Amino acid sequence: MADIVPVGEKEIKKESQEVTILEFLGITLEDELIGFPLTEVLSISKVTEIVPVPFSPPYIVGVINLRGDIIPILSLKSRLGLPENKDYTMVVILDTSFGKVGILVDKVVGVIKIPADKLEPNPMTGRYSRYIRNVAKTDQGLLIIIDIDRITKESSL
């Protein structure tokens, strides 16, 4: 079973068996619990002014200034076809094969640890199954682990 611990704690190995524990940053988008591998997360910040970029697709909300870098901001809700009822509060900056990309999220849940053998394969159902890497059962519900490189690859112009 997965536990939820505050952001920042290191990887722990279970004493009984040598199973690797994987760490994910859990966030919510509407009613879904989504995880990004912690190794890909660069930083988390509040939503600052996003400058829309004309002539770009709707899921690219715009760009922000993050300490002198211009970073594109993606709306996963738009990309994954989720409803857009709740407000975004945070931006998670991820390191992707297309450089730094910011993802708008409703809430940051914290780091979720999952033993590698508890990861389940992509159930291949739902609107955005093509972007799912794995799923895992947690106390909070089903954690959906997103393949961010696949999203950025298909989102690039």
Partner 1 sequence: MIPDEMKEIFEEFAVEAREQLESLENDMLELEKDPENEELLNRAFRSMHTIKGGAGFLGLNPIVEVAHKAEDLLGLMRSGELKLTPEINDVIFRAIDFIKGAISRYEEGEDVEMPEDLINDLISAKEGKTVSKKDEKQKLDDLLDKHGLSHLKGKPIEEILEELILLPPDKRPEEVIKELDKLISVEPVSKEEAEKKDIEASQKMMEEVKVEEEKKPSVEEEKKEEKKKIEKKEEKAEKVQEQQVEKVLRIDVKKIEDLMNLVGELVLDRNRLLRIASNLIQEHQSKYTDELEAVLSSIDRIVGDLQIAVMKTRMQPVKRLFQKFPRVVRDISKMLGKEVELVMEGEDTELDKSILEKLEEPLIHIIRNSIDHGIEPPEERIRLGKPRKGVIKLKAYYQGDRIFIVVEDDGRGIDIEKVKQKALERGIVSEDKLEKMSEKELLFLIFNPGFSTAEKVSEVSGRGVGMDVVANTVSSFRGTIDVESQRGKGTKITMSFPLTIGIIRSIMVKIKDRIFAIPIYSVLEILPGESTEITTVSGREVLIVRDMTIPLINLSELLGIGDSEIGYAIVAWVGNQRVAFTVEDLLGDEEIVVKPLGKLFGDIEGISGATITGDGKVVLILDLDGLLKRELRSMNV
User: What is d(CA 16, CA 37) in angstroms, rounded to the nearest whole number?
Assistant: 24
Identify which range of 32-40, 97-105, 111-119, 127-135 contacts partner 1 by CB under 8 A: 97-105
CA geometry: angle 139, 29, 80, nearest 5 deg:
120
Between 4 and 70, CB nearer to partner 1: 70
Q: Do residues 109 and 26 make contact, with C-beta atoms less than 8 angstroms apart? A: yes
DSSP 88: P
Q: Decide if residue 51 touches partner 1 (CB under 8 A).
A: yes
Q: Binding to partner 1 (CB under 8 A): which residues in 21-50?
A: 49
Using rule CB under 8 A, residue 92 touches partner 1: no
The residues binding partner 1 (CB under 8 A) are 49, 51, 53-56, 60, 63-65, 68-72, 74, 98-101, 152, 155-157
